[in-house]
Amino acid sequence: MASTRDRISNGFVSFLWALAGIAIIGLMWELTKLIGTIIDLPFNTSNQAMPHIWTMFSAFSLPEVRGSDTTVFQAVLAASTYSLTLALGGFVIGVSVGLLLAIIMQRFLFFERGLLPFVIASQTVPLIALAPLIVGIGNQISFGPIQWSTTYSVMFIAAYLAFFPLSVGALRGLQAPSSTSLELMRSYAATNNKVLWKLRFPASIPYLVPALKVSAAAAVVGTVVAEISTGVRGGIGRLMVEYARETTSQPAKVYVAVFGAILLGLVVAAAITAVDVLLTRNLPKKGLA
């Protein structure tokens, strides 16, 4: 199997496709603006509401505030990096909790019956209702010298969104081994833990990887939304709100922050893909999952 090299070249091709996709979106944006000048569209296509692509790119190099050495782009990069660390923290917590829940639910049918409805119900709580609640409760928490800060609230919200896809995906994965495989393990007199490590975990990987992707995306969305909601300083969510306030006079600036958020999502997706390549290097490439 010369699969790794194949996958890299495949990856390069899909990267080119992605670039083409971005170019097409840009073209459609400009085309919409052009049509808007000829006929009346049901939405506003003026430069105020939909700045030209090149205006957006020229906003990259604007100074963030007058006289400062940092450009908007640098500020957005720094904010994206900060948000990435928060999202990563939330992701790790969410994945750990999700995995633990999945293992418990797989091992004890009682917990699957009892816990799963709550796990699903947890995702129906709207985030904007949750965020102030978590901040409100969090403000009163302190562990000895460590005082809860809104940064932890953001991580908590990211984790809250991230654990769900993973626990559901992992549960399905852990339940994936065929009864023949399970019977074989039983004939070896394998303990439950051995079955978990030697059979269930490897079998769950095809389910786990897509779940990880969804979880990672959820962690990023959770981080950005929580930052907007709670106003935590330093991240891309806060920057979006700050720049959105200037849309009246500088409509292009907020799009730089949006690009930053997109970049954040792409970096995370790329990282998960790398994990995917690593985890599935020994698996047959077709016919599973």
| Contact residues for another protein, defined by CB under 8 A | 44, 46, 48-49, 63-67, 128, 131-132, 135-137, 139-140, 228-233, 238-239, 241-251
Looking at beta carbons only, is 113 or 245 nearer to another protein? 245
Q: How far apart are CA 104 and CA 46, in angstroms?
A: 55
Helices (H), the chain: 3-38, 53-59, 72-107, 109-122, 127-138, 150-174, 179-187, 192-195, 201-230, 236-244, 253-279
In angstroms, give the least distance from the CB of 140 to another protein: 6
In angstroms, give the least distance from the CB of 75 to another protein: 8
Looking at beta carbons only, is 144 or 284 nearer to another protein? 144
In angstroms, give the least distance from the CB of 131 to another protein: 5
Q: Is 96 helix (H, G, I), strand (E, B) or coil?
A: helix
- Answer yes or no: are the C-beta atoms of 156 and 87 closer than 8 Å: no
Looking at beta carbons only, is 228 or 272 nearer to another protein? 228
Looking at beta carbons only, is 181 or 247 nearer to another protein? 247
In angstroms, give the least distance from the CB of 98 to another protein: 25
In angstroms, give the least distance from the CB of 32 to another protein: 16
From the CB of residue 208, how many other CB atoms can be counted at a distance below 10 Å?
25
Looking at beta carbons only, is 106 or 229 nearer to another protein? 229
Looking at beta carbons only, is 45 or 273 nearer to another protein? 45
- Answer yes or no: are the C-beta atoms of 6 and 276 closer than 8 Å: no
Name the β-bridge partners of 142.
Answer: 147
In angstroms, give the least distance from the CB of 287 to another protein: 47
Looking at beta carbons only, is 57 or 148 nearer to another protein? 148
In angstroms, give the least distance from the CB of 239 to another protein: 8
Q: Which string of b and e fits 227-239 if b means at least 16 CB within 10 Å?
A: bbbbebebbbbbb
- Answer yes or no: are the C-beta atoms of 210 and 216 closer than 8 Å: no
Three-state DSSP string of 213-276: HHHHHHHHHHHHHHHHHHCCCCCHHHHHHHHHCCCCCCCCHHHHHHHHHHHHHHHHHHHHHHHH
Site of tokens 């969804």? 214
CA dihedral 269, 274, 279, 283 (to 10 degrees): 100
